[in-house]
Structure 1
Amino acid sequence: MRCLVVLIASLLTIAACGRETQTGAAPTQASAVSEGKATGEITVWAMGGEGENLGKLAAGFERENPEAKVKVTPVPWDGAHNKIANSIAAGQTPDISLVGTTWMGEFAKTGALQPTPSSFDRNAFFPGLWATTEVGGTSYGVPWYADTRSLYYRKDLAEKAGVKPPATWDELKSFAHAMKDKGGAAQGINLQAAGSGAWQTFMPFGWQAGAELVGSDGKFTMDTPQMRTALEYYTSFHKSRLSSSERLVPGAQVADFVNGKIGAFISGAYDRSVILKQGGPEFESKYGVTELPKGDRAASFAGGGDLVVFKSAKNSDGAWKFIKYLSRPQVQAEWFTIQADPPAVQAAWQDPVLAKDEFLQVFSRQLKVAKAPPSIPTWEQVAATIDSGIEQAANGAPVGDVLKTMQASANSIGTGN
């Protein structure tokens, strides 16, 4: 996710150990969205570029609903978590807010979110994205835009090395060797080994190996043979110096990719514009993107942004109608032309602008097999534990010991449920 997460334990009513100290309101059935046009003011908080540009899209909704007015308040991502938490604590929320997918478990558990009306068709969305809205079996929002991960690679260096884009784990290892030994890259591939969010690059390998983060009994499953297989494979790139285990400064990965120091890396569609900005139009022919190589099964990370309606909303009916409007395939496609956010609605990818763009279609195919982390109130704390374990293993710590520590830490934090 393109955001900074700051946890405010007192506002989320989670004790230092991560276990819940307040249960919050029990799930209730959301009211049905009424027939007819929306009316009244609809207040929305949106972060980053979404907040700056949503007004352009809201104009269409207001033309269809002349008695309704959408008021968008842009909120910086680095202050968004605190602002939402404070508004919940004070009972002064907007009607709608954009929420990072990994925050859903925290905010739903406070009892502050309305369950999603049944009139929304979950099958219209990519399964992994809809899963980000579900907490304890109940959906508390609607996916707005998508984020997943695919493999960027230097086509020119691959041609020099005599290799094709990898489709399996074995091929990825030989591909990375060739990109370094024959292609001239200092790193055959960069796999994030340190810093916040390393788990987003690692967990697709975990899921591909058959690992899960939480079992059917609701308990963490970090120390398993499947997770060990994934972590040993992932960190073998660092131990064989095919990938650096150092913490990169922001922007360094793309810069090193453009200058040829990195032969490949894993990231979202948003890096396309950054690459072309740094490399210039002529660089477009020098790189490509492909789906993540498969392990026992195909998988990637599912994230992005969800839209939620608060129980304290003053205009719930108008809020859900606006979200319904934003979920139309043609509106999702229009939003992509404004903000370049990949659509969360599957039918939107059939729009001519998206359908003819093979770069984007790689991410569309990747979204079909993308998985989300568990929507639990303590996820950010658990994610930090995984990040720490990845860094330790990448720097030589025995994987078995790392997984035992990771499991114990996750157990001590708890799920918050």
Structure 2
Amino acid sequence: MRHRYLGITTAIAVMSTMGLAGCSGTTGSGDVTLKLVAADYGNSPETSSSVYWKKLASEFERTHPGITVDVDVRSWKTVDADVAALVKKGQAPDMAQVGSFADYAEAGKLYSADQVLSVPVQSGFVAQLAAAGKVDQTQYGLPFVASTRLLFYNRKLFDEAGISAPKDWDDIRSDAEALKAEGVPVPFALPLGTEESQAETMMWLLSGGGGYTNSTDDSYSIDSDENVKTFEWLQKNLVGKGLTGPVKPGELDRADAFKQFTEGKVGMLNGHPTLMNSARKAHVDFGMVPMPGKDGDVKSSMGVADWMMAFKQNGHAQQIGEFLDYVYNDKNVMDFVKQYDLLPVTYSANTLMAQDTAHNDLREFQKTLDNAELYPFGKSSWSQVSDEIKKNIGKAVEPGADPRQILTRISKDANTADATEAGK
């Protein structure tokens, strides 16, 4: 997948009058039970995504007699592997809301978007997100929610250290040193553990002028000179100076880093929109700025999309389409993104969010969509490569390690995986 940038601000203005199709009427096609496996965005029984999905399914069933929706919400840590296991056993769900789709599309297991969605719904997706859902020029991945990343910092700790928000890497280092001198346990949290280190890695690669893939031939370029220099800097200037806290970055998960931030133990870290709500509940006074580049502003920041996909196995294209049309109406989209402080994936819902003063903080994340780059979702090898990064990238910043050697091994394995998938 080529580098994709999300120019959403202009697109929202152009598309602001568009409305999404809502409920598409009763099916009249006999009793069908649809199986949906979805990821859990909550962190407690009260905030679990199962509450949202079961309510939505119940409302849908009332207006669509003959269709029952069986919702199975799984942890983000296991949902991709759980769906893969079901597919391998020949028990694919009708729909899955997970983190990747390309390998299933390559294997011919998915309905394309135009096979299940009404035209108004399919055309309502933000164009660049829809493009990121394509494999061989056909859209199989339906964007479900999006987010970008900003650098969060604890204002109280910064004030006590007499420092301001960083504008480049030198500022990050000097701010972290000042925080350490004030006794802050974790001046800069660097979660390169197995939970979501592919995201932390990408943020740093982009801020260093690199990225996961080569824009010329779309091959993985994880060991590019820019990327190696980025990890050498992290190793020398943050980890090597004891500025990332007592836990090794390779053993620190995002959730633990976020928790420490809400406990006032972290000076700064990269975060997504859901961290805002957790920090507010914990009465942490925080600020947010775009992730600084090595020498200042960056050309592109990181954007993330999670995906919905529809499996062919059970042959329920019509019923799947009716349910997904309902899922993507403005009310249901907004109900979900408002609950979890995420960004909508449709033009009309983005317009609603931009017009609602209650979402002023999220507008800062919306602004960064203008120059955001996504993971290489269109590569069927991406899920395998992502797992490889999660398992090994933390080693590249350990004292005494050779970042180039580790990045070269990851990049070589990535391109091997890519060639294998392409040859299937």
TM-score tier by shorter-chain length is 0.7 to 0.9
1: CA distance between counterparts of 2:240 and 2:195?
A: 21
- The answer for the alignment partner of 1:204 in structure 2 is 203
- The answer for the alignment partner of 2:408 in structure 1 is 404
- Kindly tell me: are residues 325 and 166 of structure 1, through their superposed partners in 2, closer, same or farther at Cα, counting changes over 3 Å? farther
- The answer for the alignment partner of 1:175 in structure 2 is 175
- The answer for the alignment partner of 2:307 in structure 1 is 306
User: Secondary structure at 2:184's aligned position in 1?
Assistant: coil
Q: Is the 8 A contact 1:42 1:69 kept in 2?
A: yes
Total equivalences in the alignment: 374
Deviations 1:66-114 (A, max 9, x none): 44634132232355335433443455433322122xx312222221011
- The answer for the alignment partner of 1:26 in structure 2 is none
Deviations 1:227-282 (A, max 9, x none): 123223333311222224342367542343244332011122223344345x2xxx
- The answer for the alignment partner of 2:12 in structure 1 is none
Aligned pairs for 1:147-226 within 5 A? 147-181=147-181, 183-215=182-214, 216-226=216-226
- The answer for the alignment partner of 1:369 in structure 2 is 371
Write the letter of the residue equivalent to 2:364.
V
Write the letter of the residue equivalent to 1:76.
R
User: Secondary structure at 2:273's aligned position in 1?
Assistant: coil
User: Secondary structure at 1:253's aligned position in 2?
Assistant: helix
- The answer for the alignment partner of 1:25 in structure 2 is none
User: Secondary structure at 1:263's aligned position in 2?
Assistant: strand
1: CA distance between counterparts of 2:88 and 2:259?
A: 42
Deviations 1:164-196 (A, max 9, x none): 322433433333233333x54233211124434
Deviations 1:265-302 (A, max 9, x none): 1122223344345x2xxx14x22333222456243433
Equivalent in 41, 46, 51 of residue 38 of structure 2 = 46
Deviations 1:132-152 (A, max 9, x none): 422333320211122332222
Q: Is the 8 A contact 1:155 1:287 kept in 2?
A: yes
1: CA distance between counterparts of 2:253 and 2:228?
A: 28
| Alignment gaps of 5+ in structure 2 | 1-20, 41-47
- The answer for the alignment partner of 1:20 in structure 2 is none
Structure 1 residue 60 displacement after superposition: 4.9
Identity of aligned pairs, percent? Answer: 21
User: Secondary structure at 1:356's aligned position in 2?
Assistant: helix
Aligned pairs for 1:8-157 within 5 A? 37-39=25-27, 40=29, 41=32, 43=34, 44-48=36-40, 49-62=48-61, 65-67=63-65, 69-77=67-75, 79-89=78-88, 91-100=90-99, 103-117=100-114, 119=119, 120-121=121-122, 124-125=125-126, 127=128, 129-157=129-157
User: Secondary structure at 1:368's aligned position in 2?
Assistant: helix
RMSD: 3.2
1: CA distance between counterparts of 2:83 and 2:263?
A: 40
- The answer for the alignment partner of 1:292 in structure 2 is 291
Report which stretch shifted further, 43-52 or 104-113: 43-52
Write the letter of the residue equivalent to 2:258.
V
User: Secondary structure at 2:151's aligned position in 1?
Assistant: strand
- The answer for the alignment partner of 2:381 in structure 1 is 378
Q: Is the 8 A contact 1:104 1:132 kept in 2?
A: no
User: Secondary structure at 1:113's aligned position in 2?
Assistant: coil
1: CA distance between counterparts of 2:139 and 2:239?
A: 39
The answer as to 2:424 corresponding to 1:392 is: no
